[in-house]
Amino acid sequence: MLKLAYAFLIAAPFAGEFACAANNSRPAVVELYTSQGCSSCPPADLLLGVLSQRPNVLALAFHVDYWNDLGWTDPYSLRDAVIRQSAYSKARGQSSVYTPQVVVDGHDEYLGSDRSNIEHAVAELRTGVPVTLQVSNRNLVIALGGAQCLAPSDVLAITYLRKATSKIGRGENSGRTLEEFNIVRSIRTIGQWTGTAATFEVPLSTLPRDATDFAVLVQLPGQAQIIGAATLPLP
């Protein structure tokens, strides 16, 4: 495990929670912050693979780039993954980041290999903002229903690669073959949802070519709780 300059609290809530009255069922969102260069990460990667098979879980692996100077460059690493992980750290009043880290619903934090606590966290039924996805005229159409919330929320578009096998040539995992799942290939904010029904469109031509699936997260401001989520295989 790489831990940079701070002590962390397992399963502590992030700052900035808001109430949101919505009755639509939604999956639990599990974000894993990981790296091919981290010898503590493969068990967390495999656990994410198990969770990714469940219909009540949206599992996403964010590969960070701060391991890349330590012997092995992770081809799936994204600077945007570090920015997102660092924003969670800032929301908690902390100053650094570590791998493997799991964040559930933008709210609770666990060591990425802590199967017992993560399983418990995703077991509950969840409600949230209604989110539907479809492809129309070479666009991904994102439709959000109405719900009563106390703050506008960010609408995030995410693409991911469902599965990959990587042979590692250097670094802490040198000589190993890693199985990886739901690897995030891009993440960006496409707008805000203010509580009323709204539609957003994303051209398929703008998405990474190696992505196999598309996901949308609706997240309260300040890197707070995720209140809506949906995913769709790409054509």
Q: What is the pTM of this model?
A: 0.91
Q: How many CA atoms lie within 13 A of 96 on its CB side?
A: 10
Per-residue tens of pLDDT for the chain, all 235 residues? 554 433 233 334 444 444 565 667 899 999 999 999 999 999 999 999 999 999 999 999 999 999 999 999 999 999 999 999 999 999 988 888 999 999 999 999 999 999 999 999 999 888 889 999 999 999 999 999 988 776 789 999 999 999 999 999 999 999 999 999 999 999 999 999 999 999 999 999 999 999 999 999 999 988 889 999 999 999 9
Q: How far apart are CA 13 and CA 112, in angstroms?
A: 16
Query: Domain-by-domain residue ranges, the chain?
Result: 6-233
Tokens of 58: 């949206």
Instruction: Dig out the tokens for 95 from the structure.
Output: 């100053």
